[in-house]
Protein backbone atom coordinates (compact mmCIF):
# COMPACT_ATOMS: atom_id res chain seq x y z
CA UNK A 1 0.00 0.00 0.00
CA UNK A 2 1.06 3.55 -0.69
CA UNK A 3 0.95 5.47 2.57
CA UNK A 4 0.85 8.86 0.82
CA UNK A 5 -2.03 7.86 -1.44
CA UNK A 6 -5.21 9.64 -0.27
CA UNK A 7 -7.46 6.68 -1.07
CA UNK A 8 -5.12 4.20 0.64
CA UNK A 9 -5.30 6.49 3.67
CA UNK A 10 -9.11 6.25 3.60
CA UNK A 11 -8.99 2.46 3.14
CA UNK A 12 -6.66 2.24 6.15
CA UNK A 13 -8.98 4.41 8.24
CA UNK A 14 -6.41 7.22 8.40
CA UNK A 15 -8.24 9.63 6.07
CA UNK A 16 -11.64 11.23 6.65
CA UNK A 17 -14.41 10.03 4.35
CA UNK A 18 -18.17 9.54 4.19
CA UNK A 19 -18.26 5.78 3.68
CA UNK A 20 -21.51 4.34 2.26
CA UNK A 21 -20.41 0.77 1.70
CA UNK A 22 -17.44 -1.40 2.52
CA UNK A 23 -16.56 -5.07 2.10
CA UNK A 24 -13.35 -7.09 1.90
CA UNK A 25 -12.36 -5.67 -1.46
CA UNK A 26 -13.87 -2.22 -1.96
CA UNK A 27 -14.95 0.91 -0.19
CA UNK A 28 -17.56 3.33 -1.54
CA UNK A 29 -17.36 6.95 -0.44
CA UNK A 30 -19.01 10.26 -1.29
CA UNK A 31 -16.91 12.48 -3.57
CA UNK A 32 -15.84 15.65 -1.73
CA UNK A 33 -16.52 17.78 -4.82
CA UNK A 34 -19.73 16.25 -6.20
CA UNK A 35 -20.49 16.78 -9.89
CA UNK A 36 -24.04 15.42 -9.59
CA UNK A 37 -26.64 15.06 -6.79
CA UNK A 38 -25.25 11.55 -6.27
CA UNK A 39 -21.49 11.30 -6.79
CA UNK A 40 -19.78 8.29 -5.25
CA UNK A 41 -16.37 6.75 -5.70
CA UNK A 42 -15.94 2.99 -5.79
CA UNK A 43 -12.39 2.28 -4.66
CA UNK A 44 -10.59 -1.08 -4.58
CA UNK A 45 -8.94 -1.57 -1.19
CA UNK A 46 -5.78 -2.86 -2.82
CA UNK A 47 -3.76 -0.04 -4.37
CA UNK A 48 -3.83 0.00 -8.18
CA UNK A 49 -2.70 3.24 -9.80
CA UNK A 50 -5.09 3.35 -12.73
CA UNK A 51 -7.03 1.20 -15.17
CA UNK A 52 -3.81 0.84 -17.12
CA UNK A 53 -2.05 -0.64 -14.07
CA UNK A 54 -4.55 -3.46 -13.47
CA UNK A 55 -2.79 -6.82 -13.46
CA UNK A 56 -5.59 -8.98 -12.03
CA UNK A 57 -8.63 -8.68 -14.33
CA UNK A 58 -10.95 -9.62 -11.44
CA UNK A 59 -10.34 -6.07 -10.18
CA UNK A 60 -12.87 -4.94 -12.78
CA UNK A 61 -15.63 -7.26 -11.62
CA UNK A 62 -14.88 -6.34 -8.03
CA UNK A 63 -15.34 -2.60 -8.54
CA UNK A 64 -18.10 -2.77 -11.17
CA UNK A 65 -20.16 -5.33 -9.23
CA UNK A 66 -19.91 -3.12 -6.14
CA UNK A 67 -20.92 -0.05 -8.15
CA UNK A 68 -24.03 -1.77 -9.51
CA UNK A 69 -24.90 -3.20 -6.09
CA UNK A 70 -24.72 0.22 -4.43
CA UNK A 71 -26.66 1.82 -7.30
CA UNK A 72 -29.42 -0.76 -6.82
CA UNK A 73 -29.46 -0.27 -3.08
CA UNK A 74 -29.83 3.49 -3.56
CA UNK A 75 -32.68 2.98 -6.06
CA UNK A 76 -30.79 4.62 -8.92
CA UNK A 77 -31.75 2.14 -11.61
CA UNK A 78 -34.96 3.84 -12.71
CA UNK A 79 -33.43 7.28 -13.20
CA UNK A 80 -30.23 5.85 -14.61
CA UNK A 81 -26.67 6.40 -13.56
CA UNK A 82 -23.27 6.77 -15.10
CA UNK A 83 -20.07 4.86 -14.28
CA UNK A 84 -16.87 6.67 -15.24
CA UNK A 85 -13.20 5.73 -15.04
CA UNK A 86 -10.68 8.45 -15.90
CA UNK A 87 -7.35 6.92 -16.89
CA UNK A 88 -4.37 9.26 -16.96
CA UNK A 89 -4.03 13.00 -16.43
CA UNK A 90 -5.09 13.75 -20.01
CA UNK A 91 -8.47 12.14 -19.30
CA UNK A 92 -8.88 14.00 -16.01
CA UNK A 93 -7.49 11.49 -13.50
CA UNK A 94 -6.33 13.46 -10.47
CA UNK A 95 -6.02 10.71 -7.83
CA UNK A 96 -3.66 7.91 -8.82
CA UNK A 97 -5.57 5.12 -7.13
CA UNK A 98 -8.11 3.39 -9.36
CA UNK A 99 -11.70 4.46 -8.74
CA UNK A 100 -15.03 4.28 -10.52
CA UNK A 101 -17.22 7.37 -10.35
CA UNK A 102 -20.90 6.56 -9.80
CA UNK A 103 -22.96 9.59 -10.84
CA UNK A 104 -26.72 10.01 -10.75
CA UNK A 105 -29.56 12.38 -10.02
CA UNK A 106 -29.47 14.61 -13.08
CA UNK A 107 -29.48 14.39 -16.88
CA UNK A 108 -26.04 13.71 -18.32
CA UNK A 109 -24.85 15.03 -21.66
CA UNK A 110 -23.25 12.92 -24.33
CA UNK A 111 -20.48 12.99 -25.41
CA UNK A 112 -18.96 13.71 -21.99
CA UNK A 113 -16.88 16.88 -21.66
P1 LIG B 1 -10.41 11.66 -10.85
O2 LIG B 1 -10.29 13.11 -11.24
O3 LIG B 1 -11.11 10.80 -11.84
O4 LIG B 1 -9.05 11.10 -10.43
O5 LIG B 1 -11.33 11.65 -9.58
C6 LIG B 1 -10.87 11.94 -8.30
C7 LIG B 1 -12.05 12.33 -7.49
O8 LIG B 1 -11.74 12.17 -6.13
C9 LIG B 1 -12.46 13.80 -7.68
O10 LIG B 1 -13.82 13.84 -8.11
C11 LIG B 1 -12.27 14.41 -6.29
O12 LIG B 1 -13.26 15.35 -5.98
C13 LIG B 1 -12.33 13.20 -5.40
N14 LIG B 1 -11.58 13.25 -4.16
C15 LIG B 1 -10.29 13.60 -4.00
N16 LIG B 1 -9.91 13.44 -2.70
C17 LIG B 1 -11.01 12.98 -2.04
C18 LIG B 1 -11.26 12.62 -0.69
N19 LIG B 1 -10.34 12.71 0.25
N20 LIG B 1 -12.51 12.20 -0.37
C21 LIG B 1 -13.48 12.11 -1.31
N22 LIG B 1 -13.28 12.40 -2.62
C23 LIG B 1 -12.07 12.85 -2.97
ZN1 LIG C 1 -3.73 4.00 -3.01
- Cα separations (Å) of 50 from 38, 70, 92, 101, 102? 23, 22, 12, 13, 16
Which helix (H) or strand (E) segment is 62 a member of? helix 58-73
Segments of the chain with pLDDT less than 70: 1-3
Domain 6-104 fold: HIT family, subunit A (3.30.428)
Output the pTM of the full model.
0.97
| Cα 32 from Cα 64, distance rounded (Å) | 21
pLDDT in the model for residue 113: 84
CB 42 within 8 A of CB 70: yes
Q: Convert the pLDDT of each residue in 54-83 to its tens digit.
A: 999 999 999 999 999 999 999 999 999 999
Q: Is the CB of 112 under 6 A from ligand 1?
A: no
Residues around the ion ligand 2 (C-beta < 5 A) = 2, 5, 7-8, 47, 97
- Cα separations (Å) of 106 from 35, 36, 67, 69, 76? 10, 7, 18, 20, 11
Q: Hey, where are the domains in the chain?
A: 6-104
pLDDT in the model for residue 3: 61
Active site residue 99: yes
Catalytic one among 3, 97, 99, 101?
99
Ligand 1 pocket: which of 4, 6, 30, 31 to mutate (most atoms within 8 A of CB):
31
Amino acid sequence: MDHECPFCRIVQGRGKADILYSDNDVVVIRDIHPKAPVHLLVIPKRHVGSADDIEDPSTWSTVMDAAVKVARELGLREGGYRLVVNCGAGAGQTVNHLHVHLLAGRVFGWPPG
